[in-house]
């Protein structure tokens, strides 16, 4: 297909879209039966003008949003702003891409969820924590409160304890 050529009058009559393709699209409508060649030319040319119009309006939206690439959202916005286009086109456009909502609330940003460390490795801050006892029985508080109190004088405690005597 040749690019649109400007005639002496400055009007391009070289169609961009092939008439055959436009005719096939029109033929999909069961009610539309016959169309004159001039009417077919006008429908094809109108489609060109419409796409140029839509491209211009979409570009305006993109420029407003300080974007260099026209995307689907810009087209949707351009269609919404023009009532005649909105009437027939808005519902036919693909829906806007919505971010998927998570099922459970996400973790706070400060504490990202990390993969579990390999076996045998220890956390770097483990050194600063109280040592956790492996035996849960030891973790239980003693039943006798007297036993629970630590000896006040460690030296005295040592003196009371029997010292092994070497009998030899």
The reply on whether position 133 binds other proteins by CB under 8 A is no
- CB burial readout 62-89, b (16+ within 10 A) else e: beeeeeeebeeebbbbbbeeeeebeeeb
Closest Cα partner for 15 from 53, 58, 55, 48? Answer: 48
- In angstroms, the CA 168 to CA 162 distance is 18
The reply on whether position 69 binds other proteins by CB under 8 A is yes
The reply on whether position 64 binds other proteins by CB under 8 A is no
Closest Cα partner for 2 from 20, 22, 17, 21? Answer: 17
Shorter beta-carbon distance to other proteins: residue 54 or 80: 54
The reply on whether position 12 binds other proteins by CB under 8 A is yes
The reply on whether position 119 binds other proteins by CB under 8 A is no
Shorter beta-carbon distance to other proteins: residue 90 or 133: 90
- In angstroms, the CA 72 to CA 89 distance is 13
The reply on whether position 60 binds other proteins by CB under 8 A is yes
**Which range touches other proteins (CB under 8 A), out of 12-20, 123-131, 139-147, 157-165?**
12-20
- In angstroms, the CA 102 to CA 137 distance is 41
Which two structure tokens, joined as six digits, stand for 75?
């087209």
DSSP for residue 102: P
Shorter beta-carbon distance to other proteins: residue 18 or 151: 18
Q: Identify the residue among 34, 66, 101, 123 touching other proteins (CB under 8 A).
A: 34
Residue ranges in contact with other proteins by CB under 8 A: 1, 3, 7, 9, 11-13, 16-29, 31-43, 45-56, 58-60, 62-63, 68-72, 74-75, 83-84, 88-89, 92-94
């Amino acid at each position: 297909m040749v690019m649109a050529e400007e005639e002496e009058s400055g009007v391009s009559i070289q169609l961009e879209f092939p008439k055959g393709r436009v005719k096939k699209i029109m033929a999909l409508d069961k009610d539309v039966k016959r169309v004159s060649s001039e009417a077919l030319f006008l429908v094809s040319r109108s489609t060109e003008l419409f796409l140029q119009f839509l491209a211009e309006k979409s570009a305006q939206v993109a420029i407003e949003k300080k974007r260099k690439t026209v995307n689907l959202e810009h087209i949707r916005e351009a269609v919404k702003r023009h009532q005649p286009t909105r009437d027939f086109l808005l519902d036919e456009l693909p829906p806007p891409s919505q971010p998927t909502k998570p099922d459970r609330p996400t973790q706070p940003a400060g504490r990202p969820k990390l993969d579990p460390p390999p076996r045998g490795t220890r956390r770097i801050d483990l050194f600063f924590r109280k040592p956790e006892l492996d035996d849960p029985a030891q973790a239980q508080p003693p039943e006798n409160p007297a036993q629970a109190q630590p000896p006040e004088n460690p030296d005295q405690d040592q003196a009371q304890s029997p010292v092994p005597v070497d009998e030899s």
